[in-house]
Chain A
Amino acid sequence: MLWLELALRSAWARRTALAMAITSVAVSVFILLGVQQLRDDTRNSFSNALSGVDLVVGPRGSASELILYSVFQIGQPTRNMPYSTIEKLTQLPSVAWTIPIQLGDSYDGHPVIGTSTQLFLHYRANRLPLEFDKGVPFTDPKTLVRAPINENSQVAVDEVTQVVIGSNVAKRKRKNLGDGLILTHGKEAGLNTEHSDFTFKIVGILKPTGTPLDNAVLTSLEGFSAIHQDWTMGVKMPTGDKQVKSKTADFLALQPHEITASWVGLKSRTQVFSSRRIIESLPGGLMAVLPGVVLDDLWRIVSIVENALLLIGGMVAISALLGVASVLLVSLSARRRELAIYRALGAPPLALLGFIGIESLGVCLAGIIIGLALTQLLLFTLAPWVQTNFGIELLTGLPTGETWASLGFICLAAMIVSILPAWRAYRMSLADGLQPPVAG
């Protein structure tokens, strides 16, 4: 006990240098763990997002871009596809269902997705169907009009302007069933762009899914068109009070001309290649991609950057630990008298080896623990922001498999590094007396 107290007091006397050493270890651990956890969480978020969809169909272009904007709302679509192709797609013999995706508008930073009720039937998040926390799906406007659809077909505006919101939207914006939402044209809320003519009513709130849908506002394609009724060539035309007051809308006018993309489910997955060929030969210049293949390709590219970051993280950790060793080694020369007094008090040389070894190990471990805590704290603080901006769910809590491995690597390196000053102290204590040579 006496030795422990002595060690602590000795360390306290050199607290500034040791605190710096601890900080450098903490920062390096923070970098390494942060990179690792960010990578794992990103992968998980992306993998959960889209199960059960066999093909993603969009305008011809870059396959990875199509997946990124149509599934994860990252980036911007460069072109749309004609809506008439959706009907052609659905009629193909090998196609079981299609989910149209219409993007471009937002509600206070949350993307608004125009889609159909098919989404609630066929979308799978992490292989599980969508569940409602409260409420029901929005009404399918097609069920509101009676059979011969013509120019006279009218739908009630109230029934078209319904939305279902993701769990995060409900939580962040404190919205509940029956509340109104004013949707914005474009991606950010700003001056004069609020589509204030139509207030959308929340009819359903989804349970958390861990997918980009948690952040989304879902409405029917017709509802999506309704947002833009008064817009001509990108400018909102003053129409007076005419539109605002009408309780019904022209059904045909609400039909979209173009949509952003479409998710397709097939009757049999063995037909994925033949269906793809048929879809790509439809008029309209379409592209059909296998989402799994595209994401694997994307991961392969991203993994180069990830590995580089991990390598840098590892190097930083090693240099921080070497820093600890050098701080302790330098301090040893200043502590020659202290060590000699311990010897004079009866400490065997081996005890000094343990004394210094435990001190440097303690510094490393303290750094690791602080680094771990720092990582968790930052992940916890940043989680909501990352979730809304990138759709990635950051998980706090105990690290997972690979993170433990890198923690183990740091601990092992710390042990090896602590041997250095300890061994030097042991050698010195054997050779030195109470009047050691001044030059180290």
Chain B
Amino acid sequence: MNLKLITRKGQSMSKTMKAALSLLVAAIVTSLSIAGYLAAQTKGYVETEWKDLMPEKWQKEMWSSISSPGKSGGMHDGSLEATAEMDKQRKRYDNAPIEPSIIGKKIRIAGYIVPLDVARDKQREFLLVPYFGACIHVPPPPANQLILVRSTAATKMKQVPETMSIVWIEGTLKEARVSTEAGVSGYLMEPVSVYPWQQTK
């Protein structure tokens, strides 16, 4: 009798223990993955969204020009006037101005990789773009939604940047000066660190 009681007690004990243990394990795993993500982060770099790279005024202008139904509402796809309108829109995209207040800031931003070099090593230059398939399957984003990423010997990077993989980059945002009629166009970064993006929330 006595023995049985103890075993039963022991069993119920072990059940609670198990539940507690599994909770603990789950907690550790979650905190580890978050910790891993946080550990990869470098202090002093502010998480930034792609819309922060667009000047607000330009954004509003573009929005109104796209959404005014009077102009494009009656057009048919592929018609001459629709194509002309698209061309105009594209030109505005290509010459999109950058946001001057963000230049020189230390930022952390996530995006997709479009490699510019054939070589598959860590010195591979790439463009970071905000959405999947940008420029390959769907129309390219405006010039102020691209960051030219030029890794240096000091850049911390574990994997070779591959087409359309998602990464965080951290570094000081600079302007990529281009001597064309458009003047300054696009951003440049020599990142301190590049690491795979993970869903954290």
Contacts and interface: CB of A to CB of B under 8 A. Distances in A.
Chain A interface helix/strand/loop/mixed: helix
A290 B136 CA distance: 9
A407 interface: no
Contacts of A296: 115, 120, 162-163
A249 B196 CA distance: 60
Interface residues of B, number: 34
Contacts of A295: 118
Nearest to B180: A93
Contacts of B146: 270, 273
Contacts of A291: 118
Interface stretch (B1-9, B50-58, B121-129): B121-129
A268 B178 contact: yes
A297 B137 CA distance: 13
A292 B127 CA distance: 11
Contacts of B123: 127
Contacts, number: 92
A269 to B, nearest CB: 5
A159 B140 CA distance: 46
B119 A269 contact: no
Most buried by A among B124, B146, B181, B188: B146
A49 B185 CA distance: 30
Contact of A48 (B119, B126, B136): B119
Given A273-B94, A276-B135, 9 more contacts: A47-B120, A127-B119, A127-B123, A270-B186, A271-B180, A271-B185, A274-B93, A293-B115, A293-B136
Those 7 A-B pairs whose CB atoms lie nearest each other, nearest first: A270-B186, A292-B115, A273-B140, A274-B94, A296-B163, A268-B178, A47-B119
22 contacts: A47-B120, A48-B119, A49-B118, A51-B118, A53-B118, A267-B180, A268-B180, A268-B185, A270-B148, A271-B94, A271-B178, A271-B185, A271-B186, A272-B135, A274-B94, A274-B140, A277-B140, A292-B124, A293-B114, A293-B115, A296-B115, A299-B120
Interface of B: 90, 93-94, 114-121, 123-127, 135-136, 140, 143, 146, 148, 162-163, 176-181, 185-188
